[in-house]
Amino acid sequence: MITTIAIITLLSLGGLPPLTGFIPKWLILQELTKQDLPLTASIIALAALLSLFFYLRICYAITLTIAPNTNSNTST
């Protein structure tokens, strides 16, 4: 359960679209394009992609280090 919450939190920080971290980044990028600042918007979008890449790597490492859920009870 904690692993799932950690993964969802990391992906939200990265700004993955169905999660809550996406909306603030989207609104900031919209406002920057309305203010005619395409270079700043592009830099922020690329930085968001870079941070999402690192968060995805952390999530991948978390999923690889989860202990297996084995059931050792055998009924005879």
In three-state secondary structure terms, 32 is helix
How confident is the model over 10-39, as pLDDT tens digits? 888 888 888 888 888 899 999 999 999 999
Structural domain count, the chain: 1
In a domain, 46, yes or no: yes
The pLDDT, as a whole number, for residue 76 is 57
In a domain, 12, yes or no: yes
Please state the pTM of the whole predicted model.
0.68
Mean pLDDT of the chain: 85
Instruction: Give CA–CA dist 6/8, Å, rounded.
Output: 6
In a domain, 51, yes or no: yes
**How far are the Cα atoms of 9, 48, 63, 64 from residue 19, in angstroms, in the given order?**
9, 14, 19, 23
In a domain, 74, yes or no: no
Residue 33's domain spans which residues? Answer: 2-64
Instruction: Give CA–CA dist 74/76, Å, rounded.
Output: 6
Largest CA distance in the chain: 73
In a domain, 59, yes or no: yes
In a domain, 39, yes or no: yes
In a domain, 69, yes or no: no
